[in-house]
Amino acid sequence: GIQVEQSPPDLILQEGANSTLRCNFSDSVNNLQWFHQNPWGQLINLFYIPSGTKQNGRLSATTVATERYSLLYISSSQTTDSGVYFCAVVKTTDSWGKFQFGAGTQVVVTP
Amino acid sequence: NAGVTQTPKFQVLKTGQSMTLQCAQDMNHNSMYWYRQDPGMGLRLIYYSASEGTTDKGEVPNGYNVSRLNKREFSLRLESAAPSQTSVYFCASIRGRRDYGYTFGSGTRLTVV
């Protein structure tokens, strides 16, 4: 199956700092999404981004499909950004919603 | 609008017992999915149902069965629970192709002793 590697595994930020999370994947994909799992376990979709760049408030994401990686940027981090960020992909030949998740990046934002 | 509802939220089983995890969505979504989440491993797909009347295996189907009861409901059954099935289980749904966002349930925390 497709391999999804996320880095770094853990990240500690002071409030107001910027950071970049990376997702590498091993095969061509037709679906790539970033999810946030808050400290209470709820999973929320952040971006659908199989290619290109998108921005939503303080978060933005870029996927370079030809080089098989995606980046999630957090700017001016807030304590509410704490949690685990997952990258998930669907291989081009697979069913649309059949995601392969990375192991996640645990982010802790301190006041 | 409840979204995706999972029951129960918590469960403790003894080894060898059986149980069914329930999932229901009220968004008229076509596709539904069951994942398990273990520490440090992200989410792994157990089974999915691309549309009513169809089910397929995911990455880790052994020890589980599923039923797509109707368009709204997708249940996950453990016939003989094992400690290795201790995990947090998430159900998710999407309308179909080009529906960009998964909607997740709030999860079921299962402990097998």
b/e per residue B71-103 (b: at least 16 CB within 10 A): ebbbbbebeebeeebbbebbbbbbeeeebeebb
pLDDT digits (tens, 9 = 90+) for B38-76: 987 789 999 999 889 999 999 999 999 999 989 999 999
pLDDT score for A68 = 97
Mutate to test the interface with B, among A2, A101, A105, A106 (most CBs of B within 10 A): A101
Name the token pair of B38.
Answer: 């273990």
Q: B96, A102: Cβ pair inside 8 Å?
A: no
Amino acid identity, position B63? G
Q: Nearest by CB to B94, from A88, A97, A100: name it.
A: A97
Tens-place pLDDT, residues B26-36: 999 999 999 99
What is the rounded average pLDDT of the residues A28-38? Answer: 93
Cα–Cα distance measured from residue A64 to residue A42, given in angstroms and rounded to the nearest whole number: 28
Chain B contacts of A86, Cβ < 8 Å? 42-43
Distance of CA A10 to the CA centre of its chain: 13
Give percent of chain A above pLDDT 90.
Answer: 88
The rounded distance, in Å, linking the Cα atoms of A53 and A68 is 14
Displacement of CA A14 from its chain's centroid (Å): 20
